[in-house]
C-alpha cells in the first residue's frame, strides 16, 4: 500500500508541544540550535547536489538520484588521485563570498542562544548574529585552538563542525573525511555529546537523507538512554509518495532516540516558527509601566495595594517582571514581585529585570536622549506591557499626564508587544485603554474583549481587575 503523507490534526499538537518545550529551554538558558544547508539556500548558496553536480557529470553519475553524496565526492577524489584543488576551488567559488542575511537567520539571531552548531561552510550564521549586535565566537573544525579558547566579549559560540570556507582543506566533504572524523576531531564530538546531553537542540535546514544530519544523529544514537533529552527537527514534508513513506519511517525511528519532527509545508515556515518562538519568549517578560505623583482616582492606599498585587500576579503566573521603577507605582510592583520570587525560591536575577532611570545630579539637566535609549533597551525583550496611572509633576506644580509613559507605550507597540493598560487607574492608562480599544483586533489578537473592557471600568473591584488581567496575560502568552 502506498502511503501519502498529509497534514493531520496531530501536526498542530506537535507544533504546540515543540513551541512550549523550546521556549522553556530558552528561558532556562539550556537551548541550542543546529543549522543545516537549507537555511543558507535563500542567500544564494548551493546545496549538496548543486555543489557536486559538475563532478558527478564527469563521473557519469546522475546527481539527482544519488543519495550518498559524500561518496560522490570521494569518487571524484579517487579518480583525480586525491588532488583536491578543483574541489576546493569550487567550494570557494560557491561559499567564499558575501550574501544577504536571510529571514530565517535574522529570526534565529533574535533568540537568546549561547550555542549554535552548523555543518555549513559559509558565514551566514555569524553575519546574522553580528547584524543583530552580537559577537560570535567561531570554533571551526581544523582550528583546534578555537575550541580551547574564548573570544573576549563573545555572546554566542558558533561551532562549525564541518569547517569554515576560509580553510577549504579542512572542510568535511568526502567519504574519507566522514570516516576519519572521529579520530581527527574527538574533541568536537565530545563537545557535541556534552551539549546534546545538557541542551535541547533544534535542528533546521536538513532533509531526512542529509548526510550531515546523519553524522550528527549518530552521536545522539550513541549515547541515548532512558533519561536522554528530547530534541527537535524542523523538516519539509516530502510530497513524493515513496519519499514520504521513507520520511515517516525515519521519523518513527528517530523518535526512539528522543528526536521529534515538526513537518513543514514550506521552508519559509522555519522563519515563522522561529519568530513565534521569539514572540512567545518575549511574552514571558511583562513590562509594568506607569507613574503616579497623585494616586487619584484610586487613592494612595488602594493604588499601592493594587500595584503590589500586579507584581505578585506576574511572578505567580510564571512570568518575569520588567520595570523602570516608575514614581509612585514601581516600588509597590517590585515589592509584590520580589516577595513572590522569594516565596517560590526562584532566582531573582532571572525573574526581575529592573531598569531604574538614571537621575541627574543637582545642577544638571535631564538627558532626554539617554532616557530614550534607556526605554528602548528596557522594552526590547518585553512581550507584554501593563500600564498603570501615568502622571507626573507639571510645570505649574500640579500633576499632568506623563509623556514618558506614553512613549513607553509607543515603543512597546512598535516592538510587537501586547499592551494592557489598566484604564481604571486613570490618567495616561485611561487614554491608552481607549486607544487600544479602537485597535483591539490589531493589538490584542485572540484576547477576550470582555476582559479587556473590564480593565477600563472605574467601578471594577481590584479582584475583578486582577482576574481580567490574568485572563489576558494567559491568552496572550501561552
Cβ pair 385, 412 in contact under 8 A: yes
The CA-to-CA distance between both ends of the chain, in Å, stands at 40
Active site residue 162: yes
**d(Cα 437, Cα 360) in Å, to the nearest integer?**
37
Q: What is the DSSP letter of 457?
A: -
In DSSP terms, 139 is beta-bridged to 159
Cβ pair 387, 428 in contact under 8 A: yes
Alpha-carbon dihedral angle through residues 315, 316, 317, 318, given to the nearest 10 degrees: 60
Residue for grid cell 526605554: 375
**Catalytic pick from 123, 162, 215, 285?**
162
Sign of the alpha-carbon dihedral angle for 115, 118, 123, 128: negative
In DSSP terms, 424 is beta-bridged to none
CA nearest 456: which of 441, 472, 442, 445? 472
Cβ pair 282, 381 in contact under 8 A: yes
Residue for grid cell 567519504: 175
The sheet that has 384-389: what strands, in order across it?
352-354, 320-323, 285-291, 384-389, 418-421
CA nearest 66: which of 84, 79, 48, 81? 48
Q: Is 266 exposed, middle or buried (0-12, 13-18, 19+ CB in 10 A)?
A: exposed
Q: What is the DSSP letter of 283?
A: T
**Consecutive H or E run containing 124:** helix 124-131
**Consecutive H or E run containing 264:** strand 259-264
Peptide bond into 297 cis (omega under 30): yes
User: DSSP labels for 144-167?
Assistant: HHHHHS--TT--EEEEETT--TTS
Active site residues: 162
Amino acid at each position: 500500500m502506498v502511503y501519502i503523507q498529509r497534514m493531520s490534526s496531530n501536526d498542530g499538537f506537535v507544533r504546540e508541544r515543540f513551541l512550549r518545550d523550546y521556549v522553556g529551554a530558552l528561558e532556562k538558558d539550556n537551548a541550542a540550535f543546529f543549522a543545516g544547508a537549507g537555511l543558507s539556500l535563500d542567500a544564494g548558496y548551493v546545496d549538496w547536489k548543486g555543489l557536486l553536480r559538475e563532478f558527478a557529470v564527469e563521473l557519469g553519475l546522475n546527481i539527482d538520484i544519488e543519495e550518498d553524496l559524500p561518496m560522490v565526492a570521494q569518487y571524484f577524489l579517487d579518480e583525480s588521485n586525491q588532488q583536491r584543488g578543483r574541489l576546493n576551488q569550487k567550494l570557494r567559488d560557491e561559499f567564499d563570498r558575501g550574501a544577504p542575511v536571510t529571514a530565517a537567520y535574522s529570526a534565529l539571531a533574535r533568540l537568546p542562544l549561547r550555542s549554535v552548531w552548523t555543518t555549513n561552510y559559509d558565514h551566514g550564521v555569524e553575519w546574522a548574529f553580528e547584524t543583530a549586535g552580537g559577537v560570535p565566537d567561531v570554533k571551526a573544525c581544523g582550528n583546534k585552538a578555537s575550541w580551547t579558547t574564548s573570544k573576549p566579549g563573545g555572546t554566542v559560540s558558533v561551532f562549525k563542525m564541518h569547517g569554515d570556507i576560509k580553510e577549504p582543506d579542512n572542510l568535511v566533504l568526502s567519504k574519507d573525511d566522514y570516516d576519519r572524523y572521529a579520530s581527527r576531531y574527538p574533541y568536537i564530538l565530545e563537545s557535541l555529546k556534552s551539549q546534546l546531553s545538557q541542551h535541547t537542540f533544534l535542528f533546521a535546514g536538513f532533509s531526512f537523507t542529509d548526510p550531515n544530519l546523519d553524522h550528527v544523529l549518530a552521536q545522539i544514537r550513541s549515547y541515548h538512554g532512558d533519561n536522554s533529552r528530547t530534541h527537535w527537527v524542523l523538516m519539509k514534508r516530502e510530497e513524493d509518495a515513496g519519499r514520504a513513506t521513507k520520511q515517516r519511517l525515519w521519523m518513527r525511528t528517530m523518535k526512539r532516540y528522543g528526536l521529534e519532527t515538526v513537518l513543514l509545508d514550506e521552508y519559509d515556515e522555519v522563519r515563522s516558527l522561529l519568530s513565534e518562538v521569539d514572540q512567545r519568549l518575549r511574552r514571558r517578560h511583562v513590562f509594568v509601566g506607569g507613574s503616579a505623583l497623585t494616586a487619584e482616582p484610586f487613592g494612595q492606599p488602594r493604588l499601592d495595594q493594587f500595584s503590589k498585587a500586579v507584581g505578585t500576579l506576574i511572578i505567580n503566573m510564571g512570568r518575569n517582571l520588567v520595570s523602570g521603577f516608575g514614581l509612585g507605582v514601581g516600588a509597590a510592583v517590585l515589592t509584590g514581585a520580589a516577595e513572590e520570587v522569594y516565596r517560590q525560591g526562584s532566582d531573582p536575577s532571572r525573574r526581575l529585570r529592573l531598569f531604574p532611570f538614571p537621575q541627574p545630579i543637582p545642577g544638571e539637566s535631564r538627558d532626554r536622549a539617554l532616557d530614550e535609549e534607556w526605554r528602548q533597551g528596557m522594552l526590547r525583550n518585553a512581550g507584554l506591557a501593563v500600564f498603570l496611572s501615568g502622571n507626573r509633576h507639571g510645570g505649574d506644580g500640579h500633576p499632568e499626564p506623563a509623556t514618558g509613559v506614553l512613549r513607553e507605550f509607543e515603543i512597546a507597540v512598535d516592538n510587537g508587544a501586547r499592551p494592557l493598560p489598566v484604564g481604571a487607574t486613570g490618567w495616561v492608562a485611561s487614554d491608552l485603554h481607549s486607544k487600544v480599544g479602537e485597535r483591539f483586533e490589531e493589538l490584542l489578537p485572540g484576547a477576550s474583549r470582555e476582559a479587556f473592557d473590564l480593565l477600563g471600568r472605574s467601578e471594577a473591584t481590584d479582584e475583578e481587575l486582577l482576574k481580567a488581567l490574568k485572563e489576558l496575560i494567559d491568552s496572550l502568552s501561552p
